[in-house]
Structure formats: structure tokens, C-alpha cells
């Protein structure tokens, strides 16, 4: 199975400041034939289902604010919140769908400093 | 608008069985692969099963105990859970795939508690 490792496990950021979450896969999730990274990011708030933020490593999901961006390729990926808002407090997960046995990272909890 | 509604969650004893259902609406159900994802208390998200038109996959943690199925006529996907263990206690979500195997559509979840 592909293991997804996120860092840090938690972070506290001031309102309006940048938050950066890293995700590393145990093997490349870049499919060479189409040059796509099979990597998604989700936001999960208590009592709600997860929400898709980013897919194909860098494409924002429907209705996702442009302060959320995804980058990276191969085995190393980053989710950036450019200006943290109060409503962004949540746990964030990366997910690989390169392998048919999909796997999530362990999650990163984002809080307000 | 695409919607998924899970049902069937309950309190069950260790070793027992349960069948979860997920009813879909607002999209052509037969055209999409479906998944089950769970979150145990205080833990992260865990993908557990996938079904397309004729292929099923399972995480190691549930393989041999859980069975995924679908009924396109009823726009529904199911998860038959047997030999339940304490560690199967979780909120279970069904999720629809997008153009790739990411999950743009999720249900609200149903809670399974395995306890004596």
C-alpha cells in the first residue's frame, strides 16, 4: 500500500497568515502516461462530511475559495491556505488515488493562534 | 445536485453483523464508482471499500469480513459487515468518485458502534 505522511500533525496560525501543510507519499503518485498526480486534499470539520478541496494535486474543487492552493509532484505535495480565515479551522487530509487501495494521510489539524 | 444518504448504523455486539445502505440521487448512479470511508473516534479517515460496475476492492482491515455491493436500479450501494470488532466502531461515509478516483460527493455518514 502507498503510505501517505503529513506534516505537521497540527499547526496554529494567526488570522490572515499563511498555513502550509505537507504530504509525502511512499512512492510516486505521478502517472507518466498522462503527467497527472493522483493526489487530492480534503477539509474535514466536526459533524460534517469531508469536503474536496483539491484534486489532481492542484485543481480546486467546485466552490473552493482561491486562498486554497495545491502544489507538488511525484512524492511531495503541499496544501497552502494563503490567508487563514476563522472558517478554515479543520483537519486537512491528503489522499492518493494512484493505487486502487486508496489511502489518506493521518491528518493535520489547523487552529487559530 | 448530487446527494448521498447513508442509513443502517446501529449499536451491535462484537461478532455481529450489520448492513449499511447509501441512497444516491441527483446524478446517473450507474455511471460512477462508489466507495465507503470511515472515521473511528479520535482517528483519521480510512478508505475501506470500492465498487465499480464489476470490480470491488477492500482495505486489508476489512477484507474477508465486509462485502460491498450495488443495485443500480435502486440507486444504492451497500456494505455488509460481518464478524464486527470493537475497532470497527466509526462513522461510515459513502462517497462518489469524480472524473478520477477522488471524492467530490459525500454522504453525511452513519454511526456504527460495536460494543458488548
Q: Does B36 touch chain A (CB under 8 A)?
A: no
Q: Using pLDDT thresholds of 50, 70 and 90, give the confidence band for residue A81.
A: very high
Question: How remote is the C-alpha of A19 from its chain's centroid?
Answer: 11
Residue B54 has a pLDDT of: 84
CA distances from residue B108 to A7, B8, B36, B90 in whole angstroms, order as listed: 27, 13, 12, 13
User: B44 and A40: CB-CB below 8 Å?
Assistant: no
Find cell 494567526 and name the residue. A14
Residue A102 has a pLDDT of: 96
Beta pairing class for A68-73 and A39-44: unpaired
Q: Does B26 touch chain A (CB under 8 A)?
A: no
Residues in chain B with pLDDT values less than 50: none
- How far apart CA B81 and CA B62 sit, in angstroms, is 9
CA distances from residue A1 to A36, A98, B47, B53, B68 in whole angstroms, order as listed: 19, 10, 12, 23, 20
Q: Which residue of B has its CA nearest to A100?
A: B57
pLDDT digits (tens, 9 = 90+) for A18-66: 999 999 999 999 999 999 999 999 999 999 999 999 999 999 999 999 9
- How far apart CA A34 and CA A73 sit, in angstroms, is 13
Percent of chain A with pLDDT over 90: 99
Amino acid at each position: 500500500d502507498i503510505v501517505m505522511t503529513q506534516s505537521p500533525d497540527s499547526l496554529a496560525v494567526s488570522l490572515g497568515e499563511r498555513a502550509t501543510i505537507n504530504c509525502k507519499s511512499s512512492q510516486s503518485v505521478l502517472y507518466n502516461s498522462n503527467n497527472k498526480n493522483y493526489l487530492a486534499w480534503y477539509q474535514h470539520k466536526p459533524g460534517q462530511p469531508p469536503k474536496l478541496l483539491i484534486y489532481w494535486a492542484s485543481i480546486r474543487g467546485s466552490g473552493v475559495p482561491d486562498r486554497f492552493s495545491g502544489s507538488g509532484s511525484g512524492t511531495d505535495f503541499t496544501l497552502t491556505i494563503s490567508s487563514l480565515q476563522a472558517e478554515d479551522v479543520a483537519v486537512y487530509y491528503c489522499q492518493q488515488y494512484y493505487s486502487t487501495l486508496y489511502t489518506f494521510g493521518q491528518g493535520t489539524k489547523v487552529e487559530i493562534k | 445536485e448530487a446527494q448521498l444518504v447513508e442509513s443502517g448504523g446501529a449499536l451491535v455486539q462484537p461478532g455481529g453483523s450489520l448492513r449499511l445502505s447509501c441512497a444516491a440521487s441527483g446524478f446517473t448512479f450507474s455511471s460512477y464508482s462508489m466507495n465507503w470511508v470511515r472515521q473511528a473516534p479520535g482517528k483519521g479517515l480510512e478508505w475501506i471499500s470500492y465498487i465499480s460496475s464489476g470490480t470491488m476492492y477492500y482495505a486489508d482491515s476489512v477484507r474477508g469480513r465486509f462485502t460491498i455491493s450495488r443495485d443500480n436500479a435502486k440507486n444504492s450501494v451497500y456494505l455488509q459487515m460481518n464478524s464486527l470488532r470493537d475497532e470497527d466502531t466509526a462513522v461510515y461515509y459513502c462517497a462518489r468518485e469524480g472524473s478520477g478516483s477522488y471524492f467530490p460527493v459525500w454522504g453525511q455518514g452513519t454511526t456504527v458502534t460495536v460494543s458488548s
